[in-house]
């Protein structure tokens, strides 16, 4: 047995959510260790739908290009009729046009193994080593920290950490070791055959949906990073999932019978297995110094591609708070806001994906509409207006009933920006003295500190630069920038295109944007801003 040196945060599980958490925490200056029980990285395309809100988070983290480079646009679905003849096409995931406030409008296809590899490479660039073959088996915690025991090839290694973050997936042990319940249900009768299989024959520019009259279907998506591999997902009353996963001849027969095309060559299986419906949510995402994120905290049907995306949102919400606590700038109590802000959204999401799953995994036959996803899956409307951490002096405290619609953005009630909403982008900002070089808010926001946007020149004179934030003054177009040059050394920008004023209006106001890209405060001046930060530090 060896006792290792201590670390700020021990991350258990090097899946995508553990990796993103490690990146955010490291960028925030914390020491992290990240371990995984497996000795090799997982392969397979599965969690490939990466939604706009996740891409926005990656932009703020400074890694969006790394992830985009590993992905491609989604192909449309080509529906084959019961005789195998190609028919109409449709987009399963929403496809939109970028706008000034929403530069990422379409869901990107990034195979989960390629996505994780890109995240690992970012993390390694930050100097963090991923420790494979180390399995969490025990943990104890007290007021000072967590002591975790890892099984390393039969030997025990003890790690002392201020906090332990369990990103060890739906089957992980962190939850159980911390005494957290995983409430919900597993439905063994609802399952799919999923995996990556080499095939030749089907067109590689579309996402095939083969089906028969009995309610069996098979979807085959050509991986953009391979010339032969398709991601296959299949369901139906006549499918014996476990036998088909392990018997290559059965797999071939199944593909031929649904496609009605026996010329399709079914080659090597890269990764193939069974998936069973499991809909569960932890009754808390935290027990003392142990926290959960991603599938370890909530697991749902893959319909709507929410699992990985919502896990990244967990990491963004939690890690800046954890950084404040570890550096003793905020009390541990701020971590209560993690469940407070994420819990209602996840509960809504579970209800939504379960409804979709019931329609799509229907042995009497799935309706076409059940394969089309509404815009809410892009997660741009996710908010936490009810959080006690956010302060909105313009609209007042959010009505408790506003928790309904945490997931779809509650857009029916009001579209005006509130504290707790996603902070929108705005391009066309030209800094005073920059010779006309234009920037955008998403390039100014940061995952390691707050950004304070001061939308009025006279307010700017009352607000001073803070050490824990970057403060910028944004003046309307047409305003003489020279007049504002004495704004106490703050950065002054002109909103040349008027986008920032349009999306953050009405003015005047001061907006505090959190490191997770969420509007934390909408206040009327210095005293409101001071109150907002006092909430964080006194939490």
Ligand X SMILES: Cc1cc2nc3c(=O)[nH]c(=O)nc-3n(C[C@H](O)[C@H](O)[C@H](O)COP(=O)(O)OP(=O)(O)OC[C@H]3O[C@@H](n4cnc5c(N)ncnc54)[C@H](O)[C@@H]3O)c2cc1C
286-287/145-152 β-pairing: unpaired
Is residue 139 near ligand X by the rule CB under 6 A? no
Residue of the chain from 202, 302, 344, 520 that contacts ligand X (CB under 6 A): 302
Q: What does the buried/exposed string (b/e) look like for 479-518 if buried means 16 or more CB atoms within 10 Å of the residue's CB?
A: eebeebeebeebbbbbbbbebbbebbeeeebbbbbbbbbb
Near ligand X by CB under 6 A, which window of 169-177, 214-222, 244-252, 374-382?
Answer: 169-177
Residue 383 CA to residue 403 CA, distance in Å, equals 9
Residue of the chain from 94, 111, 145, 169 that contacts ligand X (CB under 6 A): 169
Residue of the chain from 112, 332, 379, 494 that contacts ligand X (CB under 6 A): 112
Is residue 18 near ligand X by the rule CB under 6 A? yes
Using an 8 Å Cβ cutoff, are 217 and 257 in contact? no
Least Cα distance to 38 among 14, 9, 2 occurs for: 14
Residue 62 CA to residue 48 CA, distance in Å, equals 20
Residue of the chain from 259, 306, 332, 345 that contacts ligand X (CB under 6 A): 306
Residue 148 CA to residue 140 CA, distance in Å, equals 7
Is residue 111 near ligand X by the rule CB under 6 A? no
Near ligand X by CB under 6 A, which window of 8-16, 278-286, 407-415, 469-477?
Answer: 8-16
Instruction: State the nearest-atom distance from the C-beta of 294 to ligand X, in Å.
Output: 2
Using an 8 Å Cβ cutoff, are 391 and 457 in contact? no
Using an 8 Å Cβ cutoff, are 150 and 157 in contact? yes
Is residue 78 near ligand X by the rule CB under 6 A? no
Nearer to ligand X, 17 or 390 (CB): 17
Q: Which of residues 177-206 bind ligand X (CB under 6 A)?
A: 194
Least Cα distance to 60 among 375, 461, 443, 496 occurs for: 443
Q: From residue 222, how far is each of 76, 93, 209, 256, 524 by CA, in Å?
A: 11, 16, 12, 17, 52
Using an 8 Å Cβ cutoff, are 503 and 426 in contact? yes
Near ligand X by CB under 6 A, which window of 38-46, 361-369, 405-413, 456-464?
Answer: 38-46
Nearer to ligand X, 377 or 391 (CB): 377
SS3 at position 215: coil
Cis peptide before 363 (omega within 30 of 0): no
Nearer to ligand X, 70 or 454 (CB): 70
Q: From residue 113, how far is each of 164, 195, 288, 465 by CA, in Å?
A: 25, 12, 32, 43
Instruction: State the nearest-atom distance from the C-beta of 149 to ligand X, in Å.
Output: 11
CA atoms within 13 A on the CB side of 96: 20
Instruction: State the nearest-atom distance from the C-beta of 167 to ligand X, in Å.
Output: 5
Is residue 38 near ligand X by the rule CB under 6 A? yes
Is residue 517 near ligand X by the rule CB under 6 A? no
Kindly determine how many residues on this chain lie close enough to bind ligand X according to the rule CB under 6 A: 37
Q: Which of residues 211-270 bind ligand X (CB under 6 A)?
A: 233
Residue 164 CA to residue 318 CA, distance in Å, equals 12
Residue of the chain from 7, 8, 10, 16 that contacts ligand X (CB under 6 A): 16
Nearer to ligand X, 272 or 503 (CB): 272
**DSSP labels for 356-367?**
HHHHHS-TT---
Nearer to ligand X, 37 or 321 (CB): 37
Query: Helix crossing, 16-27 with 112-125: angle to 10°?
Result: 20
Residue 337 CA to residue 390 CA, distance in Å, equals 10
Is residue 135 near ligand X by the rule CB under 6 A? yes
Is residue 49 near ligand X by the rule CB under 6 A? yes
Residue of the chain from 15, 202, 427, 521 that contacts ligand X (CB under 6 A): 15
Q: What share of the chain is helix, strand, coil (3-state, %, to 5)?
A: 30, 30, 40
Query: Phi/psi zone of residue 162: left (φ > 0), alpha (ψ -120 to 50 degrees), beta?
Result: alpha
Tokens 């936490």 belong to 384
Is residue 305 near ligand X by the rule CB under 6 A? yes
Near ligand X by CB under 6 A, which window of 32-40, 198-206, 365-373, 505-513?
Answer: 32-40
Tokens 């920006």 belong to 417
Near ligand X by CB under 6 A, which window of 240-248, 308-316, 491-499, 511-519?
Answer: 308-316
Is residue 336 near ligand X by the rule CB under 6 A? no
Is residue 492 near ligand X by the rule CB under 6 A? no
Is residue 35 near ligand X by the rule CB under 6 A? yes
Is residue 47 near ligand X by the rule CB under 6 A? yes
Residue of the chain from 235, 275, 407, 532 that contacts ligand X (CB under 6 A): 275
Residue of the chain from 145, 236, 307, 344 that contacts ligand X (CB under 6 A): 307
Residue of the chain from 60, 61, 92, 136 that contacts ligand X (CB under 6 A): 136
Q: Between vectors from CA 31 to CA 28 and to CA 34, what angle results, nearest 5°?
A: 105
Is residue 94 near ligand X by the rule CB under 6 A? no
Residue of the chain from 311, 402, 420, 428 that contacts ligand X (CB under 6 A): 311
Q: Give the binding site for ligand X (CB under 6 A).
A: 12-18, 35-38, 42, 46-49, 112, 135-136, 167-169, 172-173, 194, 233, 275, 294-296, 302, 305-309, 311
């Amino acid at each position: 047995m060896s006792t290792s040196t201590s670390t700020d945060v021990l991350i258990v599980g090097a899946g995508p959510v553990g990796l993103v958490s490690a990146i955010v925490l490291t960028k925030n200056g914390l020491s992290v260790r990240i371990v995984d029980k497996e000795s090799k990285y997982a392969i397979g395309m599965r969690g490939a739908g990466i939604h706009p809100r996740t891409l926005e988070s990656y932009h703020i983290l400074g890694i969006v290009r790394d992830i985009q480079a590993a992905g491609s646009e989604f192909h449309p679905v080509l529906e084959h009729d019961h005789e195998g003849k190609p028919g109409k096409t449709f987009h399963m995931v929403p496809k939109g046009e970028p706008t000034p406030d929403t530069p990422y409008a379409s869901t990107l296809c990034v195979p989960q193994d390629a996505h994780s590899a890109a995240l690992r490479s970012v993390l390694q660039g930050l100097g963090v080593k991923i420790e494979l073959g180390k399995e969490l088996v025990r943990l104890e915690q007290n007021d000072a920290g967590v002591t975790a025991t890892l099984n390393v090839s039969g030997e025990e290694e003890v790690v002392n950490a201020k906090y332990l973050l369990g990103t060890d997936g739906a089957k992980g042990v962190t939850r159980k070791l911390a005494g957290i319940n995983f409430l919900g249900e597993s439905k063994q009768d609802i399952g799919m055959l999923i995996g990556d299989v080499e095939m030749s024959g089907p067109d590689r520019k579309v996402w095939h949906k083969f089906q028969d009259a009995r309610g069996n279907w098979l979807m085959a998506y050509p991986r953009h990073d391979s010339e032969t591999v398709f991601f296959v997902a299949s369901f139906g009353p006549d499918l014996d999932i476990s036998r088909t996963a392990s018997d290559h001849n059965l797999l071939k027969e199944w593909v031929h019978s649904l496609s009605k095309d026996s010329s399709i060559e079914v080659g090597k299986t890269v990764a193939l297995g069974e998936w069973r419906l499991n809909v569960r949510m932890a009754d808390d995402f935290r027990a003392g110094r142990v926290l959960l994120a991603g599938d370890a905290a909530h697991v749902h049907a893959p319909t709507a591609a929410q699992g990985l995306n919502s896990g990244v949102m967990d990491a963004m919400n939690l890690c800046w708070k954890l950084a404040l606590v570890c550096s003793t700038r905020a009390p541990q109590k701020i971590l209560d806001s993690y469940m407070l802000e994420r819990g209602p959204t996840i509960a809504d999401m579970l209800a939504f994906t379960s409804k979709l799953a019931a329609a799509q995994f229907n042995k009497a036959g799935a309706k076409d509409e059940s394969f089309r996803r509404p815009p809410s899956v892009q997660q741009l409307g996710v908010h936490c207006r009810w959080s006690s951490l956010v302060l909105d002096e313009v609209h007042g405290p959010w009505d408790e009933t506003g928790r309904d619609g945490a997931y779809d953005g509650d857009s029916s009630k009001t579209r005006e920006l509130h504290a707790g909403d996603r902070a929108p982008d705005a391009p066309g900002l030209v800094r005073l003295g920059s010779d006309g070089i234009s920037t955008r808010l998403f390039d100014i926001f940061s995952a390691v500190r707050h950004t304070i946007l001061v939308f009025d020149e006279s307010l700017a004179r009352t607000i001073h630069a803070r050490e824990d934030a970057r403060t910028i003054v944004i003046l309307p177009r047409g305003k003489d920038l020279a007049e504002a040059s004495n704004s106490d050394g703050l950065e002054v920008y002109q909103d040349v295109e008027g986008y920032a004023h349009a999306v953050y209006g009405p003015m005047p106001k001061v907006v505090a944007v959190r490191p997770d890209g969420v509007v934390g405060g909408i206040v009327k001046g210095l005293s409101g801003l001071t109150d907002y930060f006092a909430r964080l530090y006194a939490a």
